[in-house]
Amino acid sequence: MRKIALLVSVYLLLTGFLQAQVKTTPKKPVTNTKPTPPKPKHTTVKRPAAPTEQKVEITTNYGVIVVKLYNETPLHRDNFIKLVKEGFYDSLLFHRVIKTFMIQGGDPISKNADSTTMLGNGDVGYKIPGEFNKDLFHKKGALAAARDNNPERASSGCQFYIVQGRKFTQQELEQILNSRNMNNKQSILYSCYQRDTVQAAVYKIQQSGDKELLRTYMANLQQVVDKMYAQQFPDAEKVNLDQMGTYINEGGAPHLDGSYTVFGEVISGFEVIDRIAEKPTGTADRPQENIRMTMRLLP
């Protein structure tokens, strides 16, 4: 018990520090004859065309949603295409709906589930490594992969959500950014403190009773944490004004950025998202009415 108390007190103390060539062409010799200048050759350089983004049609009880899949997230793109081809999503439910947030589906258990079945834990037996891209964010209509609380932030092999979201003020967005940065720094701090060498050093200093030495050690450890944080999150303090403007004017779910992989976006059918998100829900945010889906790849 004494060791647990010691760990807690030191961690709290640590957390306090967080808050407190130009080349010239030689001239040719001059001659009396004037050579006939060669006719210029016109060549056309063809640039490779950007790869086409695959589109998927999602048909629901309340209309059709069309999404495009990002080529920047090939693992998620290819997996989604594979499942759609197999008919995996046909007859599955949007089993979790939260107004002004998102609509979620893809649980295979939902296909034949009765009204009392708890949904959300079904899967395909594998995860997809996270593909995080700071330019792909949770704007309204973002298509993203659900996941459990695994530390690698790997995605579910089949469950997904589409953001409905809401509009945010600049102040709210600044608060979300500050909170995210603090959480990231605390995570690094905690991982540092879990090292046996650090715990042993802290324990030894505390046993000596030298509070000033302990404070100095903590300050030095904080510098290490700050350096690691700057290396892992070099753009933490930067603000993307375009993304901020989107969240302010169109809406989304900015608090999810960096935590869940966004691998596509809605290009038509936004009103369908709104209709589904409006439906009454019961336990675990499951719609009281079964809202099923079918999917197909578009040419």
Percent of the chain with pLDDT over 70: 83
Q: What is the dihedral of CA 59, 65, 66, 70, to 10 degrees?
A: -110
Residue of 282, 299, 269, 297 whose CA lies nearest to 61: 269
- Secondary-structure percent of the chain, ordered helix, strand, coil, rounded to 5: 40, 15, 45
Q: What is the pLDDT of residues 87-133, one digit of tens each?
A: 999 999 999 999 999 999 999 999 999 999 999 999 999 999 999 99
The confidence score (pLDDT) of residue 16 equals 53
The values of phi and psi at residue 123, to 5°, are -155, -175
Identify the band that residue 34 occupies on the pLDDT scale cut at 50, 70 and 90.
low
List of residues 6+ apart from 155 with CB closer than 8 A: 76, 127, 128, 129, 130, 145, 146, 147, 260, 261
Q: What is the pLDDT of residues 233-289, one digit of tens each?
A: 888 778 899 999 999 999 999 999 999 999 999 999 999 999 999 999 999 999 999
Whole-Å CA distances, 203 to 5, 47, 134, 210: 12, 63, 40, 11
Identify the band that residue 197 occupies on the pLDDT scale cut at 50, 70 and 90.
very high
Provide the residue type at 101 as one letter: F
Dist. CA 170–CA 111, nearest whole Å: 41
- Tell me what the mean pLDDT of segment 49-70 comes to: 94
Q: What is the pLDDT of residues 142-177, one digit of tens each?
A: 999 999 999 899 999 999 999 999 999 999 999 999
The confidence score (pLDDT) of residue 21 equals 39
For each of the domains in the chain, give its residue range(s) and CATH number, in order of start.
55-167+250-298 (2.40.100.10), 172-232 (no CATH)
User: Residue 218: left (phi > 0), alpha (psi -120 to 50), or beta?
Assistant: alpha
DSSP calls for 242-299: HHHHHHHHT-B-GGGTTTS-EEEEEEE-HHHHHHHHTS-B-GGG-BSS--BEEEEEE-
Record the pTM: 0.78
The confidence score (pLDDT) of residue 235 equals 81
Confirm if 157 and 127 have CB atoms less than 8 A apart.
Answer: yes
Tokens of 142: 């973002």
The values of phi and psi at residue 69, to 5°, are -100, 135
- Tell me what the mean pLDDT of segment 8-23 comes to: 46
- Residue-averaged pLDDT of the chain: 87
The confidence score (pLDDT) of residue 187 equals 87
The confidence score (pLDDT) of residue 29 equals 41
Residue of 195, 163, 197, 2 whose CA lies nearest to 67: 163
Residues in the chain: 299
- Taking residue 119's Cβ as centre, other Cβ atoms within 10 Å add up to 21
Whole-Å CA distances, 179 to 49, 148, 236, 269: 41, 21, 11, 33
The confidence score (pLDDT) of residue 27 equals 42
